[in-house]
Amino acid sequence: MSTPTVWGRLLRLVPRNTYKAPKHGLQRQGLYFTSRQLSLSNQQLSTPSTSSDVDNETIESSSVVRKIKSSDAVTKHEIHQHFWKTKLGDPRSPISYHPNPAAEPFLTDRTWLRDACTCERCVDASSGQKLYASTDIPTTLAISDIEVTNDGDLQVSFENDFLTGGTHVSTYPREIWSRPSRYHTETVPKWEPWNRERMTKLSPYYSYQSFMTDGPEYLQAMSALSLYGLVFLRDVPSSEEIVKDIAAKIGVIQDTFYGTTWDVKSKPNAENVAYTDSYLGLHQDLLYMRNVPRIQILHCLENTCEGGESIFSDSYRATHQLWRLSPDIAKSLTKRQLIYHYNKGGHSYWQSRAVLSGRNVYWSPPFQHPLQPDEMTEEGMHKFRQWCKAARNLKALFESWDSIYMYKMRPGECVIFDNIRVLHGRRAFNSSGERWLKGAYVENDSYKSLVRSLPKLTRPTESLDV
Ligand SMILES: [Zn+2]
């Protein structure tokens, strides 16, 4: 734990009675104190003051402000540039602080602060689990002391603590109190847009052997997967089971009604357009499910057909372009909800999604329900026409020749792509030959967890605006 600052110690040297207000006064006083320390540990804090008095600030409190401001240590406290205000003696009053004197204050409820303690009395050291519920914390909390340490951490001393009895000192890292609302903002993995030219240059082909044995190409491939959403493995053994092993290196395999693994082969009277030999436009898989599989793995076991090249396109790039070119058009794709469904062979899946949601595209025309829930009014049809225009624009962006990376998979190759980001499809093929891909999905949470926990993923050296 870091120690309080010199300034904190200086303040403590001032005789306690200098700070003592007349009876009850300290419980009412409002104090501005600047980013340092306020010690009121001599006073009785267990009795809540009545709400009618809490606004009566004493003259004494302003003298404290003056003392702080006139001190030599003022320059030192400006290192952190935070300004605090609290009625320390009122166990109900919130604690407010300003990132700078001009900014609006952040307000922190005392119970919120007590709830946020991460000390080992409050959070189990081995499991990382919280040892009490928010509802266990009293709504009035006596605080005897607030300090900012040299490291910029905030230290709060709670009196008569509900959990541990006596004084409970909680320390909050600077990141929490200096911008609490952003503390949990997900650090989105970096991504780089790509087009055909860029993907051709990148040529993200990696050795199966190195990937599977945590060789250098494992991290390289995982970096490329998180940056671009598309990688290939080479020299993959010819086994139907291998996709499972590859999936296990990326996350947890996602079982679906297609099976843990599944085959992409053309067959008569196919229940899915993927199992025919016709052209398969760019799309994502399983948008009719709530938990859309995140990563798709396709291992090529045979491909002697003419045609049947796989095609891929970066939907993040297309979305980014659309928002930049025409925000109004992009907006209409965020409004209209489409129903995606799968109703066959005793299955009934159904999910409603907008084509654009944040950065994500949800695009799978073959699985759109023919009847969409638009309002049958003049306005409803106007919105529908707007949507059609926008959808055509977006489709033109991701289907343009320079957007598409095309590759004919050879036996012993395996493609791994981000099904949420990278649209995939296939050119028509002549089914006189054999085309057989073995597929598997990896579910979203386990993939994200893995990406977050891998050592710093490497980045490419150049960054192109494509
Ligand atoms: Zn604690």
Tell me what pLDDT residue 96 has. Answer: 75
> How far apart are the CA of 244 and the centre of ligand 1, in A?
44
**Distance, C-alpha 260 to centroid of its chain:** 27
Q: Whole-angstrom Cα distance, residue 350 to residue 370?
A: 13
> How far apart are the CA of 129 and the centre of ligand 1, in A?
12
Residues 6+ apart with CB under 8 A from 332: 383, 386, 387, 389, 390
> How far apart are the CA of 189 and the centre of ligand 1, in A?
32
Residues 6+ apart with CB under 8 A from 37: 4, 5, 7, 8, 11, 12, 145, 146, 147, 148
The answer to whether the beta carbons of residues 428 and 253 sit under 8 Å apart is: no
Write down the residue that tokens 């993200």 correspond to.
204
> How far apart are the CA of 117 and the centre of ligand 1, in A?
5
Q: Whole-angstrom Cα distance, residue 220 to residue 301?
A: 24
The answer to whether the beta carbons of residues 436 and 303 sit under 8 Å apart is: yes
Domains of the chain with CATH codes: 6-182 (3.30.2020.30), 196-453 (3.60.130.10)
- Enter the tokens of residue 92: 């109900």
- Enter the tokens of residue 209: 């052997």
> How far apart are the CA of 116 and the centre of ligand 1, in A?
8
> How far apart are the CA of 104 and the centre of ligand 1, in A?
29
Q: Whole-angstrom Cα distance, residue 273 to residue 92?
A: 64
Residue 276: other Cβ atoms inside 10 A: 17
> How far apart are the CA of 122 and the centre of ligand 1, in A?
4
> How far apart are the CA of 42 and the centre of ligand 1, in A?
22
pTM of the model: 0.73
> How far apart are the CA of 32 and the centre of ligand 1, in A?
26
> How far apart are the CA of 131 and the centre of ligand 1, in A?
10
Residues 6+ apart with CB under 8 A from 99: 81, 82, 106, 178, 179
Q: Whole-angstrom Cα distance, residue 387 to residue 389?
A: 5
Q: Whole-angstrom Cα distance, residue 154 to residue 175?
A: 10
Residues 6+ apart with CB under 8 A from 159: 45, 46, 142, 143, 144, 166, 167
> How far apart are the CA of 7 and the centre of ligand 1, in A?
25
Residues 6+ apart with CB under 8 A from 414: 208, 232, 233, 236, 242, 243, 246, 297, 298, 299, 300
Nearest to 1 by CA among 183, 173, 158: 173
Torsion of CA 66, 69, 72, 75, to 10 degrees: 170
Tell me what pLDDT residue 311 has. Answer: 95
**Helical segments of 57-181, H only:** 59-70, 74-77, 110-115, 174-178
Residue 292: other Cβ atoms inside 10 A: 22
> Under DSSP, is residue 149 helix (H, G, I), strand (E, B) or coil?
strand
> How far apart are the CA of 97 and the centre of ligand 1, in A?
21
Bridge partner residues of 422 (DSSP): 314
Residues 6+ apart with CB under 8 A from 75: none
> How far apart are the CA of 99 and the centre of ligand 1, in A?
25
> How far apart are the CA of 138 and the centre of ligand 1, in A?
14
Q: Whole-angstrom Cα distance, residue 226 to residue 108?
A: 37
> How far apart are the CA of 121 and the centre of ligand 1, in A?
5
Q: Whole-angstrom Cα distance, residue 439 to residue 53?
A: 70
Per-residue pLDDT of the chain (466 residues; tens, 9 = 90+): 333 333 333 233 223 333 333 333 223 333 333 333 333 333 333 333 333 332 332 222 322 222 223 232 222 333 345 556 667 777 888 877 766 666 677 778 889 889 999 999 999 999 889 999 999 999 889 988 888 787 778 888 999 999 999 999 999 887 776 665 555 555 556 789 999 999 999 999 999 999 999 999 999 999 999 999 999 999 999 999 999 999 999 999 999 999 999 998 876 556 666 666 778 899 999 999 999 999 999 999 998 888 889 999 999 999 999 999 989 889 999 999 999 999 988 999 999 999 999 889 999 998 998 888 888 899 989 999 999 999 999 999 999 999 999 999 999 999 999 999 999 999 888 777 788 999 999 999 999 999 888 876 655 444 444 4
Measured in degrees and rounded to the nearest 5, phi and psi for residue 372 equal: -100, 150
- CA diameter of the chain: 98
Burial class (CB in 10 A: 0-12, 13-18, 19+), 289: middle
Residue 85 belongs to what H/E stretch? Answer: strand 83-86
